[in-house]
């Protein structure tokens, strides 16, 4: 039996990378980003180190000419790999922002959270509440995009596996999904927060809120749903 088609809605670079990794499944993979990430503003002064909660921050940092082996505390192994490749000195990796706030040590230098203009929570504020020196700097915007016509056609045609990586993307997807096609959506969610924002009950959820666990959940969902 042919596996379900997969609709990837992450920003294009991340979706293209994941599509290549999923090529061995034999599934048809269609990319239709729901967010476009672009640098904004200017690079901030870094007083001692950085907080990175998304690979998008690294992309924006490098696109604007950022350099330097700054100490970095990051969320997730994917962000850690990308940060190290960009020259950052990765000192700690948390599963999510709450875990990251807990593991930043007392002797950490003053930190800047390099983030997008839309964020959940307040990592820098949480760190200040713990007695750490932390601020934030917005260096990229996340612009919502509509689903493409091929993506809408895929959803209308029949059951489709749809990985969802953030509450915002899940909300946008619920708005953009064609009328009558929600019954065809087989959502795979990164976390409980994403599942709560999704327009349908997910068929699977990642064991941890990171890219590796999400890929594993996608593969298991394919196998369980006709893959």
pLDDT digits (tens, 9 = 90+) for 192-221: 989 999 999 999 999 988 888 999 999 999
Nearest to 42 by CA among 24, 60, 21: 60
Per-residue buried b or exposed e for 69-89, using 16+ beta carbons within 10 Å of the residue's own CB: ebbbbbbbebbbbbbeebebe
Which DSSP helix (H) or strand (E) runs through 149?
helix 149-157
Nearest to 91 by CA among 79, 104, 81: 104
Residue 119 has pLDDT above 90, yes or no: no
CATH topology of domain 37-142: Rossmann fold (3.40.50)
The residues of the chain that CATH labels 3.40.50.10090 are: 37-142
Say whether 190 sits in a helix, a strand or coil: coil
Residue 21 has pLDDT above 70, yes or no: yes
Q: Which two tokens stand for residue 201?
A: 């009950």
Once rounded to an integer, what is the mean pLDDT over residues 152-178? 96
Q: Which two tokens stand for residue 11?
A: 């920003």
Residue 100 has pLDDT above 90, yes or no: yes
**Tens digits of residue pLDDT in 171-195:** 999 999 999 999 999 999 999 989 9
Q: Which residue has the tokens 């230098």?
A: 109
Specify whether the CB–CB gap between 29 and 8 falls below 8 A: yes
How does the average pLDDT of the chain come out, rounded?
93
Q: Tell me, rounded to whole angstroms, the distance of Cα 107 from its chain centroid.
A: 29
Nearest to 165 by CA among 101, 96, 115: 96
Q: Give the gyration radius of the chain's Cα atoms.
A: 18
Neighbours of 212 (CB within 10 A): 13
**Tens digits of residue pLDDT in 34-92:** 999 999 988 999 999 999 998 899 999 999 999 879 999 999 888 999 999 999 999 99
Say whether 92 sits in a helix, a strand or coil: strand
Burial label, 158 (beta-carbon count in 10 A; 0-12, 13-18, 19+)? exposed
Query: Binning pLDDT at 50, 70 and 90, where does residue 1 land?
Result: low
Distance CA 135, CA 139 (A): 13
Say whether 146 sits in a helix, a strand or coil: coil
């Amino acid at each position: 039996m042919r596996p379900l088609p997969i609709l990837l809605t992450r920003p294009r670079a991340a979706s293209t990378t994941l599509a290549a990794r999923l090529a061995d499944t034999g599934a048809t993979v269609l990319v239709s980003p729901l967010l476009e990430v672009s640098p904004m503003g200017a690079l901030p002064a870094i007083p001692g180190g950085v907080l990175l909660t998304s690979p998008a921050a690294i992309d924006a940092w490098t696109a604007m000419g950022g350099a330097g082996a700054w100490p970095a505390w990051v969320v997730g192994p994917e962000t850690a790999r990308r940060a190290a490749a960009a020259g950052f000195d990765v000192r700690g990796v948390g599963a999510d922002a709450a875990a990251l706030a807990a593991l930043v040590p007392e002797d950490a230098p003053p930190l800047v959270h390099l983030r997008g203009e839309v964020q959940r929570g307040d990592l820098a504020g949480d760190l200040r509440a713990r007695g750490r020196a932390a601020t934030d700097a917005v260096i990229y915007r996340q612009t919502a995009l509509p689903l493409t016509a091929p993506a809408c056609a895929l959803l209308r045609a029949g059951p489709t596996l749809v990985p969802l990586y953030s509450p915002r993307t899940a909300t946008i997807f619920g708005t953009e999904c064609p009328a009558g096609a929600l019954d065809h959506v087989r959502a795979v969610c990164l976390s409980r927060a994403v599942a709560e924002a999704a327009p349908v009950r997910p068929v699977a959820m990642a064991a941890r809120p990171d890219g590796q666990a999400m890929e594993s959940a996608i593969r298991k969902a394919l196998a369980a749903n006709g893959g």
